[in-house]
Structure 1
């Protein structure tokens, strides 16, 4: 989000970390290291690519594995298949980081979210709607909503469906952007 004043332009920024029991496991730098290992198949080459020492990289990888309780990389020595490679846990960490970062970015750049925080919104294209079907997937869910004249379909993350507690029959609003249909729900205070 950008805010422009008469003299300068300010921008809101945020960083993402994934934690385990409140302790950081991975952030942008560690994700870059894991991606480099995945691309290079070599810890030495990955270290050179991201600009960290070999020793530091091993300390970082060991700390990540320790916090997760499983290895994020595996090393094979000798032969044509030698190198350092990501484990399924390492790949899952990257996916979780990417999903979390995308969700944060989407939220920060979602004009309707900012409007709910009391910020000005130029587009006023909310349409009251009723959820008629929810198809949950592993990462994305399809939510069909009915408006007075038509039925719209929105593809949103399953995490968003669960966070908003969207169920068939719920009263929601559809927010139409140039490239997508978003789903919003008024917060209900729980006693």
Structure 2
């Protein structure tokens, strides 16, 4: 049996992009045409435009630009579109590498279930655009959670904090006891 994960980036809890949308952006980049990308992926032109508009709306930035007429006509990725692909790929690779490292789970000596809530210490916080990598120390090992930068801000997570790693079948969440004011 093999564990599998899905990766997607979110903003304010709303999904922005996952594997299928990344594939659409990559195909547009290859073909330099939305129509050709749609034919290659066997999806409707209208559906593709709706997907692109929803991504751009949630980001507040265009991910593609269209040039009409002349030799240089077509649909092209913007810098934001390229950045989004890069960020998605970086996080997908990181999560896949973590899941493939069987030793990281065995060192913890845990039976993983949605009810596991493990005390941990924040070792580092790396904010990268929409997501943050929060490395947790769980003696005798370490674990990294990919969460939104917004969640890091909202929870006030900083290096050295005591938190809980809450392990679900598809993700590692982080909880922090909030001080009463």
Same fold (TM over 0.5): yes
User: In the TM superposition, what are the counterparts of 1:6-85 in structure 2 within 5 Å?
Assistant: 10-85=1-76
Q: Secondary structure at the match of 2:84?
A: helix
Q: Counterparts of 1:29 and 1:185 in 2: how far apart (Å)?
A: 31
What is the correspondence of 1:1-191 to structure 2 with a 5 Å cutoff? 10-118=1-109, 163-164=134-135, 185=142, 190=162
Q: Distance in 1 between matches of 2:142 and 2:91?
A: 20
The alignment yields a C-alpha RMSD, in angstroms, of 3.1
TM-score (norm 2): 0.63
Deviation at 1:117, TM superposition (A): 3.8
CA distance in 1, matches of 2:9, 2:72: 31
Q: Which runs of 5+ in 1 are unaligned?
A: 1-9, 121-138, 140-158, 167-172, 174-183
Tell me, in whole angstroms, the C-alpha distance in 1 between the residues paired with 2:52 and 2:25: 9
Q: CA deviation at 1:115?
A: 1.5
Q: Whole-Å Cα distance in 1 between the matches of residues 53 and 93 of structure 2?
A: 27
Corresponding residue SS for 1:11? coil
* Partner Cα distance (1:69, 1:29) in 2: 20
Give the TM-score taking structure 1 as reference length. Answer: 0.60
CA-CA distance at 1:48 after TM superposition: 1.0
Structure 1 runs, 4 residues or longer, greater than 6 Å off = 186-189
Secondary structure class of the residue paired with 2:75: strand
In structure 2, the gaps of 5 or more residues are 112-127, 145-159, 164-181
Q: Residues 54, 164 of structure 1: CA spacing in aligned structure 2 closer, same or farther, 3 A cutoff?
A: same
Higher relative contact order (CA 8 A, sep 6+): 2
